[in-house]
Amino acid sequence: MSLDVVSDTRCFGGRQITLKHESAATGTPMRVAVFLPPQAERGPVPVFWFLAGLTCTEDNFMQKAGAQRVAAELGLALVAPDTSPRGEGVPDDPAYDAGQGAGFYCDATQAPWSTHFRMRRYIEEELPALLGAELPLDLGRQSLCGHSMGGHGALTVGLRQPGRFRAVSAFAPIASPMNCPWGEKALGLYLGPDRAAWRPYDACALIADGARRAEILVDQGTADPFLDGQLKPGLLEAACRDAGIALTLNRRDGYDHSYFFVASFIADHLRWHADRLKA
């Protein structure tokens, strides 16, 4: 087995597992958290991927969102990867919005980032193949969700691979990294100054360039301190309207950017995904 078990804990009749492995994509050890519901003891189960945001690890969603109870009821596996490569020799930035903990789910082309920061390849290719070979996961039934930077990741991966993910949703996503300080900094560092190279990593640009999904679900808190300066859900709303994509944008009055917000509505997302993951 190419996955090392860091921890394995009983949880709502299933198993909460942290795994570690050597990644060819990043050239570093990587960790991923997986919840296997009780139904996985009888055979492969559908997969709900969750991509976390800036400064997060594989633990944040599993420890703070409270998703396992409903996932166990619905028979969904939860998979939460780390947000970047880490460790000695991996480049970093002194601020929180680039470098370790801030991979932005892209494949860097610029030094020094390009040696290790290949999170697109890791999320889209390496990790699903690895987990599918080792765990009882039904990779014919996958869905994708994320929060903040991870919401950006979920939207862009889902738009680039519409046939692979049956459902895509997000909590407070960075709707257009090309048009906010977080995205402009990270994509500029990782991909260089040519903004044309940024377009595959911007949901609104992907939609403008022809990417389509039938529907997208987004929850956004109205008291989110990053709402106007960084997240800009109105840009996604306009892009989806122009493209004929059915976007459900729930503006949650008084909610902020925290995992208290995610925990408040994660059950709604899980049930929405489960309806679309039915065989």
Catalytic residue list: 148, 224, 257
**Do the beta carbons of residue 217 and residue 248 sit within 8 Å?**
yes
Three-class secondary structure of residue 230 per DSSP:
helix
Residue 192: CB partners within 8 Å, gap ≥ 6?
109, 110
Burial tier of 94 (Cβ tally within 10 Å: 0-12, 13-18, 19+) = exposed
Q: For residue 217, give the nearest of 260, 268, 277 by alpha carbon.
A: 268
**Do the beta carbons of residue 177 and residue 202 sit within 8 Å?**
yes
Q: For residue 164, give the nearest of 243, 61, 46, 248 by alpha carbon.
A: 46
